[in-house]
Each structure stands twice: as C-alpha cells, then as structure tokens.
Amino acid sequence: MFGDFWSFIQTLVLILVSCFIYFIPYMVASYRRSRNTLWVFIINLFFGWSLIGWVAALIMAFMGDTYQIGQCPYCMSYINSKARKCPFCCEWLDAEGGGNVKNNAAAEDTAKAAPEAER
Ligand SMILES: [Zn+2]
C-alpha cells in the first residue's frame, strides 16, 4: 500500500519532469517572445517525440525575430513599439511611437543603462 503510493509519486514526478524537458523549446520561444512561438509549439507538440523534431523546435525557438518592444519615455514601461499612447501612464507619445523602439534585448540594455545616462 505504502509502496504503491511512493511509486505513484515517482511516476507523477517523472511525468512532470518529462513534460518540462519536452516543452523546453516552447518555453524558450515564449520567453524570447519569438514570432515563431506558435510554430515552435506545434512542432514541439507533434514532432517533439522524435529527437529531430525536438531539436528543430529548439533551434527555431532560438532563431527568428522577436516582437518589437518599445519603452515609454515617461514611465519606462515596456509597451508595443507601435503604440501612440502609453497604456500605463496614459501619456501621448510622439510620432515615432513607443519612444525608443528596440527589440527585447536592446530594451533591457536601455533599462540598465538609463540610470547612468541621467546622471
Ligand atoms: Zn508610460
């Protein structure tokens, strides 16, 4: 009885860990806000069981464009680069759209560099 319980827990943990590893490509894609996220998910789901499909999904997750993220010059929130009005502080933005338009990585760099630049 007790042994059954622990083997049940072990099986459950094994399934959870397997799912986690199985969906790493999808998690990478969604973390990067990749434009390929949907395709990575589909390939991951249907072809991930074959190692080639899994590796292909992972490569796709690391490649490809990411969504354009801009930063509001007033409140420094990350917003859609095409936005004309900041949804967080409701300030109207200039014609260029969401302030300094950059991709994710560059926007994060700007966020880190900004306090120094203001000194
Ligand atoms: Zn704002």
Contact assessment for residue 54 and residue 22, using Cβ atoms and an 8 Å cutoff:
yes
| Degrees, nearest 5: CA angle 48-38-24 | 45
Per-residue pLDDT reduced to its tens digit, 75-96? 988 888 778 888 899 988 875 5
Distance 79 CA to ligand 1 centre (A): 8
- CA 36, distance to chain mean position in Å, is 11
Cα–Cα distance, 105 to 16 (Å, whole number): 31
Report the candidate in 59, 64, 58, 56 with the shortest Cα–Cα distance to residue 104: 64
Distance 33 CA to ligand 1 centre (A): 21
Enclosing H/E stretch for 79: strand 78-80
The per-residue pLDDT for 97 is 47
Per-residue pLDDT reduced to its tens digit, 39-54? 999 999 999 999 999 9
Residue carrying structure tokens 């200039």: 94
Counts of helices then strands in the chain (DSSP H, E): 5, 3
Other beta carbons less than 10 A from residue 73's beta carbon: 14
Distance 92 CA to ligand 1 centre (A): 8
Distance 112 CA to ligand 1 centre (A): 17
Is 1 a residue whose pLDDT tops 80?
Answer: no
Distance 1 CA to ligand 1 centre (A): 59
Distance 36 CA to ligand 1 centre (A): 28
